Amino acid sequence: MTPASRHPYREDMLELNDVTKRYGERLALDAVSFSVGDGRLTGFVGGNGAGKTTTMRIILGVLAADGGSVSLDGSPLTATDRRRFGYMPEERGLYPKMKVLEQAVYLARLHGWAPAAARRNATELLDRLGLGERFDDTIESLSLGNQQRAQIAAALVHHPEVLVLDEPFSGLDPMAVETVQGVLADAAAGGVPVLFSSHQLDIVERLCDDLVIIAGGRIAASGGRDALRAEHGSERWELLTSGDTGWLRERPGITVAEFDGGWAVFEAESDAARQAVLAEAVSRGEVVSFTREHTTLAQIFKEVVR
């Protein structure tokens, strides 16, 4: 599934340009620019205090930026545009004493839906999120995980045209993670730009089309997941044989990075050198595997943040 082929006409729908925010003396966001494409699931990763929440609040207009602009389809965001956004704030919050369905219907209506349609949206979404049995329970009576699901419903119930979710997966059990992933993927497939932050880099890696990495208030890297992997991924190769791989060290143009008996990770100066290693390994004995080392998002993250 290559995202680019899925949306051949995609353009940048939500765009941040040189967004800057100061908290007193501290520069929280320093000329932050990135875009979230229509129908793209964009992961927003960064350490604690890197500026993720501040950025999202500025996108939603909950916080005012000191400089820069946020635009949708090329024009500056207005309050009317933002009404069509779905937002899940970092700090969760719903009315504790309101009932699950009632709350979702209320939020849909605040976004302008007529009562019947609001109710239909809410019912469908809550059913899908596994809250079908809890319609008449108050939010405060739900478990934390279910409160989290209700929170996601609150962000999606009005069929937003842009989704901004701050840590949507935190506090969810694996089943719920699965459900929410499905809901977000569907929203993106429906053409909605989705920006979400997460500390769970494995989920981001699995789910996202694009990545934005922020560190210390600056964008450290952004772009398609595969492009980033190609750009920041290592040129290391991994060899696993049934024999010993000590001979690798003697090969010209090869630098061994890690080594343990029949297993080794190395860098090759040229394709020829790499091919020669494979040929040598085959001639020496059984090759179990010979692969390019998989670069995880965690590795890319560490590299660009450094």
Partner 1 sequence: MSTGSDNTAGRGVSEANVSRPSARSRDGAGAPPRPAVPAPNFVDSVSLIAGREITMRLRSKAFLISTGILMLAVLASVVLGSLFGGQSDPAKVAVVGAAATAVEGNAALDPVPVDDEAAGEQLLRDGEVEAIVAPAPSDPLGIAVIGLDQTPSGVVQALAVHPTVELLEPAAVDPGLAYLVAFGFGIVFFMSAITFGSTIAQSVVEEKQTRVVEILLSTVSARALLTGKVIGNSVLAFGQIVAIAVLAIAGLLVTGQKVLLGGLGSSVVWFVVFFAVGFVMLAALFAASAAMVSRAEDMGSVTTPVTMLVMIPYFLVIFFFDDPTVLAIMSYVPFSAPVGMPVRVFLGQAEWWEPILSLVILIATTALAVAIGERIYRNTLLKTGSRVPLAEALRG
Residues of the shown chain interacting with partner 1 in the complex, contacts defined by CB under 8 A? 7-11, 38-39, 57, 60-63, 72-73, 79-80, 82-85, 87-89, 91-99, 101-102, 105-107, 109-113, 116-117, 119-120, 123-124, 127, 135-136, 154-155, 158-159, 161, 190-192
- Of the pair 19, 239, the CB lying nearest partner 1 is at 19
Nearest distance from residue 8's CB to partner 1, in Å? Answer: 7
Q: How far apart are the first and last CA of the chain?
A: 30
Nearest distance from residue 248's CB to partner 1, in Å? Answer: 49
Nearest distance from residue 95's CB to partner 1, in Å? Answer: 6
Compute how many other C-beta atoms are within 10 angstroms of the C-beta atom of residue 237: 19
- Of the pair 188, 214, the CB lying nearest partner 1 is at 188
Q: Give the residue ranges of DSSP H helices in the chain.
A: 3-6, 52-60, 79-82, 100-110, 115-128, 144-156, 174-189, 201-207, 225-232, 271-284, 297-305
Q: In what order do the strands lie in the sheet with 194-197?
A: 85-88, 162-166, 194-197, 41-46, 210-215, 218-224
Nearest distance from residue 188's CB to partner 1, in Å? Answer: 10
Nearest distance from residue 50's CB to partner 1, in Å? Answer: 19
Residue 207's Cβ-side half-sphere holds a number of Cα atoms within 13 Å equal to 30
- Of the pair 147, 295, the CB lying nearest partner 1 is at 147
- Of the pair 105, 221, the CB lying nearest partner 1 is at 105
- Of the pair 150, 277, the CB lying nearest partner 1 is at 150
Contact 283, 191 (CB under 8 A): no
